[in-house]
Amino acid sequence: MTVKQFLKSQAFKCIVVLLAIALVAGGLLAILNDLLAVSAEERTRRAIESVYGQEMGYQTLTYDAAQLTNEYGTIDQAYLLDNGAYMLRSTGGEGYKNGTVTMWVVLTESESGYEIYKVVLEEYSKQTLMSQFGDSFYAVYTAHNDELADGEIWFTTESGSGITNVAAGATMSSRAINNAVNCALCFARTVLAQGGEA
């Protein structure tokens, strides 16, 4: 087949049409990507409004990696809200199949220490039975601020060693959630209590 014959062939016409479709689709995707892109600031604003329940100005806090990790897990993000509350994205481990649970923990500062204002599930990995965790489970975290004030009490799945918070049939996932909340408490007691950023 000569070049002239190829240029007149059905195969060449198909190639041209497919190339045109690819170019138009690529251009449209690029335009839509620019139009629909959500900035990091907008994602943070949405997260704060979703977790806290209203729009709130914030300051992003930064720390050394060593300060963001403790025996319970890691702090992924830390914000100081305009009203003085801290909003922490905390990941706790030791869940089902060694998975993790990530929580938003909102802490307020009082004369006696840090109090838990709100706890909201963000995401989880390898966990099952997450539907077992309802409002009554999460309410335990905000119901024991007086006991948490001395800085020695933690949440646990085992009775007799702290504030027990466990969902029936989901002990391992309960442990990961407790660890996420404990991670935020530990961070507040050891890092935020020192004042300032790294």
Spans of all domains in the chain: 9-36, 57-194
Q: Which residues contact 73 (CB under 8 A, 6 or more apart)?
A: 90, 91, 92, 93, 100, 179, 180, 182, 183
Q: Residue 28: left (phi > 0), alpha (psi -120 to 50), or beta?
A: alpha
Task: Measure Cα distances from 125 to 22, 25, 101, 131, 166 in Å.
Answer: 36, 34, 6, 14, 18
Contact present, 78 and 63 (Cβ < 8 Å): yes
The pLDDT of 54-59, averaged and rounded, is: 91
Question: In whole angstroms, what is the distance from residue 174 CA to residue 92 CA?
Answer: 10
pLDDT at 197 over 70: no
Q: Exposed e or buried b for every residue in 78-113, given b needs 16+ CB within 10 A? A: bbbbeeebbbbbbbbbbbbeebbbbbbbbbeeeeeb
pLDDT of residue 196: 54
Question: In whole angstroms, what is the distance from residue 198 CA to residue 195 CA?
Answer: 9
Between 187 and 131, where is the model more confident?
187
pLDDT tens digit sequence for 144-157: 998 887 778 899 99
The pLDDT of 7-33, averaged and rounded, is: 84
Mean pLDDT value across the chain = 89
The pLDDT of 162-189, averaged and rounded, is: 94
pLDDT of residue 82: 94
Question: In whole angstroms, what is the distance from residue 160 CA to residue 145 CA?
Answer: 18
pLDDT tens digit sequence for 72-113: 999 999 999 999 999 999 999 999 899 999 999 999 988 888
pLDDT tens digit sequence for 25-53: 888 888 777 777 768 788 888 889 988 88
The alpha carbons of the chain give a radius of gyration, in whole angstroms, of 25
Phi and psi torsions of 139, nearest 5°: -65, -25
pLDDT at 127 over 60: yes
pLDDT of residue 38: 67
Specify the pairing of strand 113-125 against strand 86-92. unpaired
Q: What DSSP designation does 156 have? A: E
pLDDT of residue 79: 95
